[in-house]
Amino acid sequence: MCHKAKESLNMEDAESHLQSDQEQHPEPLLSSVDIFIFSLISGLLIYWFFFRRKPETAPEIRTVTRTVSQPVRETSFIEKMKKTNRNIVVFYGSQTGTAEEFANRLAKDSHRYGMKGMAADPEEYDMTELSRLREISNSMAVFCMATYGEGDPTDNAQEFYDWMQGADDSLEGINFAVFGLGNKTYEHFNAMGKYTDKRLADLGGKRIFDLGLGDDDSNLEEDFISWKEQFWPAVCEFFGVEATGEDGSIRQFELVVHNDINMNQVYTGEVGRLGSFQTQKLPFDSKNPFLASVSVNRKLNKGGNRHLMHIELDILDSKIRYDAGDHVAVYPTNDTTMVSKLGKRLGVDLDIIMSLKNLDEESNKKHPFPCPTTYHTALTHYLDINNPPRTNVLYELAQYASDQKEQENMRKMASASPEGKALYKSWVVDAERNILSILEDLPSLQPPIDHLCELLPRLQARYYSIASSGKVHPSSIHICAVVVEYATKTARVFKGVATNWLKNQVVTDNGHKPTVPMYVRRSQFRLPFKPSNPVVMIGPGTGIAPFIGFIQERAWQKEQGKDVGETILYFGCRHRNEDFLYQQELEEFERAGVLTQLNVAFSRDQEDKVYVQHLLKKNKEHLWKLIHFNNAHIYVCGDARKMARDVHAAFHEIAQEVGGLTHSQAVDYFKKLMTKGRYSQDVWS
């Protein structure tokens, strides 16, 4: 663009010179001096023009060369396995990091059985090469597949899922095994794991071991341990190999301390690109979050011992677009007091600048988190120090306990024995001991901080249903959340990382606005395409969040002159005078005729508790009419473990009592509504 502007400018200069000459010499014939000057100027212009173009075309040639020279094997896991002498590849579909962690543990375990594995993100490789795995002798592919939302693949497994759906490749001779990660409180429990296992077999793959189904509602870690304790013997039997007996700790990363480094090269909490928080660049996503200013942070409830909050994030100039029903992901930071206590307990200077460098030079994962950085930054921004550590962490750290009894107990908790599982569940999971609590309660345990940082999982983004409409609030995103804080069995106080951090992100008296790293994740939780369709929304507590956005959008649609159908809300809280969230706004929407019905269940304002499902039953005739005859869309948001199930059961009863269906017919009826997108859930456990 610049060189074109310069070329135009030179044309204008030449024209002005010519005009000047014509004005001074109106005679039709030019003198020899004029001809000489004109020729000289023309020659200089021609020389300048061609001289300038040469350096401008050179970078284009170099850029093309760089693009062409990209090595094909970067997306070929087969070539990588051949080059690094691997025979097991463990793919993971992970949304919160757990499936990735399990995949890394399986790859690491493989050396104990005389094999060599690698963990791999299917998003980074060409999965159509799966049929080529037979080129590697005694090879197999393992899949740790999490299910996200309502039976959906995780973001990084979406392309692999799409490929599986349309694939007609023969996987004859391809050995595989699948471990699924799911939650039984959800309708489509472990859908992705089940689909992957069945589809690979349908394509001719050889299942080496039975599908594992991990349940996060119970004890996902225990399910995984039990599965892999049987998985490895089955692998050994199939390939005719034996366990090597090497059970010692194997480090994946080496510590590099930087004593003399430019601070501009040190990560200070960025998720991806170094300096991305200082210089923001489009587009914004999970690897490049936008730093949104907090413009509003107010308490929603008028009483009670909880803290419910409404937060508004400013996304002006970010070019971020969202729809009502989408999710906002925020990257929180750990409690600084807890970080300081960890440093003090381990006796280390947290300001040391270091890197953890992968010992496997061919690995795509060069570092476990952005490096170089300080221990303080790693423990604050990158590592999960608040949740109970998994058994592999205890196993690896046990060697650093000088007390024999403490070491034995740590190893026992990491074992697959019934006693070990019970001890891990009671002492770690049920007692909600995080890594700091464990260090405090095991005084002889003194691990090197670099090994601890290698073992701890990454601190993950937290997702919240957006409590606003992008049509009404295009320059801000609203969050509705409850602060998580309660006493544990060890008399410690557990504080949710994200909600406690968000609670403290307030605009100061001098007008300073804190920032929140965030991005938007698209959802299938959508209002009907036709505004005239009635909507029935059920959202107790903070489950009301997406419905605030829905109602705002229905109001906007009415203002646009559209025919808007009935808009009915069922909300539930404990007390009218304490936690009736958005009461003023909702009652105003009702007065304006946007909300056709506002049904609120105050569960503790009377002797017998009343919940949203009870109010549904009270209005069963009208609800059945809307659903069965008027093409109404149903939306449920909130707790998956109990509320969503009870609401689902209430609709089954309505279909039986008013619609005359049998129980099995009612179940099928609402399953079909789900398939058609007329019964949608945005739930969590």
Q: Is 121 annotated as a binding residue?
A: no
Residue 667 labelled as part of a binding site:
no
What count of residues does the chain have? 685
CA angle (391, 335, 432) in 5-degree steps: 35
| Cα–Cα distance, 568 to 588 (Å, whole number) | 14
The reply, when asked if residue 195 is annotated as ligand binding, is no
685 is in an annotated binding site: no
- Reading the block at residue 441, the tokens are 């309660």
What residues are paired with 140 via a beta bridge? 88
CA–chain centroid gap for 232, Å, is 30
Q: Is 236 annotated as a binding residue?
A: no
Q: Is 557 annotated as a binding residue?
A: no
Per the residue annotation, which of 223, 450, 579, 682 is the catalytic one?
Answer: 682
> According to the annotation, is 110 in a ligand binding site?
no
Query: In angstroms, what CA-CA distances link 633 with 142, 218, 661, 670, 674?
Result: 40, 32, 20, 11, 10
144 an active-site residue?
no
371 assigned ligand-binding residue: no
591 is in an annotated binding site: no
318 marked as binding residue: no
Catalytic residue (choose from 226, 286, 295, 684)? 684
109 is in an annotated binding site: no
Question: Interior CA angle at 200 toward 199 and 206, to 5°?
Answer: 140
Backbone angles phi, psi at 536, to 5 degrees: -120, 115
Ligand-binding annotation for 154, yes or no, is no
Contact by Cβ (8 Å): 562, 475: no
Is residue 357 marked as binding?
no
Q: Cβ neighbours of residue 396 under 8 Å, at least 6 residues apart? A: 249, 451, 455
Largest CA distance in the chain: 112
Q: Is residue 186 annotated as involved in ligand binding?
A: yes
364 is in an annotated binding site: no
| Residue 181 labeled ligand binder | yes
Asked whether residue 260 is marked as a ligand-binding residue, the answer is no
Tokens for 69, please give them. 């020279």
Contact present, 181 and 190 (Cβ < 8 Å): yes
CA angle 411, 412, 414 (to 5 degrees): 65
Q: Was 333 annotated as part of a binding site?
A: no
User: CB under 8 Å to 618, separation ≥6 — which residues?
Assistant: none
Residue 497 among known ligand-binding residues: yes
DSSP state at residue 457? P
Q: Is 377 annotated as a binding residue?
A: no
Going through 210-250 in order, the beta strands assigned E by DSSP cover 212-215
Q: Cα–Cα distance between 476 and 34 in angstroms, integer?
A: 66
374 is in an annotated binding site: no
At residue 525, φ and ψ (nearest 5 deg) are: -80, 90
- Both tokens assigned to 388: 């109970």
Give the 3-state DSSP-derived string for 244-259, with helices as H, strands as E and coil as C.
Answer: CCCCCCCCCEEEEECC
Phi, psi values for residue 657, rounded to 5°: -75, -40
The tokens for 569 are 């809300």
CA dist., res. 146 & res. 183, Å (int):
10
Distance CA 677, CA 655 (A): 18
Q: Is 205 annotated as a binding residue?
A: no
Number of alpha helices (DSSP H) and beta strands (DSSP E) in the chain: 22, 23
Active-site residue, selected from the candidate residues 223, 637, 639, 680: 637
Q: Catalytic: which of 465, 469, 523, 680?
A: 465
Measure the CA dihedral 302/303/304/308, to 10°.
Answer: 20
Residue reference for tokens 């099995």: 664
Encoded amino acid at 565, one letter? G
Q: Is 604 a known ligand-binding residue?
A: yes
Ligand-binding annotation for 553, yes or no, is no
Catalytic-residue membership of 682: yes
User: Is 482 within any annotated ligand binding site?
Assistant: yes
486 is in an annotated binding site: yes
476 is in an annotated binding site: no
CB of 543 within 8 A of CB of 635?
no
Q: Is 637 an active-site residue?
A: yes
Is 498 labeled as ligand-binding?
Answer: yes
Does the annotation list 465 as a binding residue? yes
Q: Which residues are annotated as a binding site for FMN?
A: 94-99, 146-149, 181-190, 216
Q: Which residues are annotated as a binding site?
A: 94-99, 146-149, 181-190, 216, 306, 462-465, 480-482, 486, 496-499, 542, 603-604, 609-613, 646, 684
Q: Which residues are annotated as a binding site for FAD?
A: 462-465, 480-482, 486, 496-499, 684
Q: Which residues are annotated as a binding site for NADP(+)?
A: 306, 542, 603-604, 609-613, 646
Catalytic residues: 465, 637, 682, 684
